[in-house]
Homo-oligomer: A and B are copies of this chain.
């Protein structure tokens, strides 16, 4: 291991110049002689000189790195978000430091700290499901680090935000079931301390109200993962039978797909006996049998938009810009499950 990184000083010594001259030559400073520039540049190229990003960041007090805190990379929505962020970030010369909270509050706190320690220029964050105390983020925020929340936002903090219009999306999904003739509709919901959980439930309720269908609280069941569905399948099947359910709105695709599988193994046909719709439109929706109707949540756009809002702050330091909330409206993707 001959860990040999060439430094400015090395070049200066060999070329018998001062570090400052080398530095200036490399960045085409007008004061420097053309000959010298050529000499330095050629040599730097030859020895494969690369400035030390750490030293640069320390000096400039700017890392050109932005931090990203994301619940789970495995979810298609979130990995699309990452792509949206990266595509924009790289173009503008920023690196992205990705931290996966794994839906774990403790980890999120550590991640936030790590990002601060590395002096990232800004933070993009979607909070974990288990986070109820936001002081770690509030802390970073009050420390002056520009932040943009996306998807799972923190309502207490006045920041830029990018969200999906979950209420509208849920309304679209539920209304679609109603149009297809369903009146007894089950909603598999996410925890109510999450904005998305609350909003999607509200959208469901709103659609029922708009169509003169009475809301039955028993038809709103907290169940938001594939595993969760299987672990409570007895209860669900019982409920579906007793309440004569004909439509199900799952708070996300994997929950909807899991419930289809539970229904099928209990002998129900989809969409004939029961219609099912999800939320998100990940790749699974197409693969499911039957292909799942759902509303499309725009991951890539979410990431891009969040990065755009952050860049706007970073490129205009000191200038006060009003915080904005970008709302992305999901579209209905009808397939064969409804």
Interface residues of A (CB under 8 A from B): 1-5, 48, 50-55, 57-58, 63, 73-74, 76, 79-80, 82-83, 86, 90, 95-98, 100, 102, 110, 113-114, 116-119, 139, 143-146, 257, 261, 283-284, 287-289, 317-318
Contact partner of A54 among B57, B73, B261, CB < 8 A? B57
Contact partner of A117 among B50, B73, B257, CB < 8 A? B50
A-B contact pairs, 19 of them (CB 8 A): A1-B144, A1-B318, A3-B145, A4-B143, A4-B144, A5-B143, A50-B113, A50-B116, A53-B118, A53-B119, A58-B58, A73-B79, A73-B82, A79-B79, A83-B102, A90-B110, A95-B118, A283-B284, A284-B284
Contact residues in B for A54 (Cβ distance below 8 Å): 54, 57-58, 63, 118-119
Q: Is the CB of B53 within 8 A of A257?
A: no
A80 to B73, CA, bound (A): 9
Q: Is the CB of B86 within 8 A of A80?
A: no
Contact residues in B for A50 (Cβ distance below 8 Å): 113, 116-117
Contact partner of A52 among B53, B96, B119, B283, CB < 8 A? B119
Contact partner of A82 among B5, B58, B100, CB < 8 A? B100
